Amino acid sequence: MNEIMEMNEDVNIEKRGVRTETMILLNDERVMNVTCVDNKEEMVTLRNIHKDIFIDESRSQISSKSDLFCYAREEVINRLKMAADSLPVGYQFLVKEAYRPLSRQKKSFEEAFESYKSEYPLKSQDEIYGLTCQYVAPIEVAGHPTGGAIDITLLKNGIEVDMGTEFNDIPYEPENLTYLYSQFISEDAKANRNILIECMEKAGFINYPTEWWHWSYGDCYWACLNHCDAKYSGVREEDIVMSGELI
């Protein structure tokens, strides 16, 4: 893990090995200070919305037990369909997780924080907080509980492709293989990530750069990078009306 990262410090990364950009992490005050005006858009299921969008119904790689794990805001769904329309022939999306209850988000943050604390006993609370934010969002700015974030990978002819790491792997220094633009992954994996990047960015999604699979629209992180207000705030699980499907 990153030994020298400080809270609110920008991290320089090589993007595609050509340009150096500044990576904004979730604990950055620019993200924390985003104003949110929730537009009250509905939460809708991701099931059966497009011929090339599949859901990992096994839930084997996520900790949420919520039946709403594959729900997202309406505009997020529309934009994911647009992204799916631009997939190369033979590729499909596999959604791992979308909506996540606030209680689960809080628990995941606390668990990761405690785990980093025991791994790095000499680090300050602020340093541990910064490390944790590389991997899990603090609830104040978390995208999943708003219905604005989606964890997604690619299938080719129905089989998960090589993305350089497993979904939800933890980034370890110096390779940081889960970073979207890690240079230490194979050429095949880079090509697969590029497909994901092209399709998702064209549809208006923003990636969280430490996790190749995490994309959002309308949440605080998206708003910060787009210099606008966030459209979605956290939604309580009990306030979501299911869209009449059998799950």
Ligand X SMILES: C[C@@H](N)C(=O)N[C@H](C)C(=O)O
Can residue 71 be called a binding residue for ligand X (CB under 6 A)?
A: no
Strand pairing report for 91-97 and 159-160: unpaired
Amino acid identity of residue 174, one-letter, is P
Only one of the segments 47-55, 130-138, 154-162, 172-180 lies at the binding site for ligand X (rule: CB under 6 A); that segment is 130-138
Only one of the segments 39-47, 129-137, 178-186, 198-206 lies at the binding site for ligand X (rule: CB under 6 A); that segment is 129-137
Long-range contacts of 196-200, Cβ-Cβ distance < 8 Å, separation of 24 or more? 196/152, 196/153, 196/154, 196/163, 198/86, 199/83, 199/84, 199/86, 199/87, 200/83, 200/152
Active site residues: 211
Structure tokens belonging to residue 73: 């805001």
Residue of 44, 94, 136, 224 interacting with ligand X (CB under 6 A): 136
Can residue 231 be called a binding residue for Zn ion (CB under 5 A)?
A: no
Over the window 73 to 112, marking each residue x when it contacts ligand X by CB under 6 A and - when it does not, the resulting string is: -----------------------------------x----
How far apart CA 18 and CA 38 sit, in angstroms, is 37
Residue of 148, 214, 218, 224 interacting with ligand X (CB under 6 A): 214
Structure tokens belonging to residue 117: 């604390």
- Which residues of this protein are in contact with ligand X, per CB under 6 A? 108, 135-137, 142-144, 149, 151, 168, 208, 211, 214
Q: Which residues bind Zn ion (CB under 5 A)?
A: 151, 214
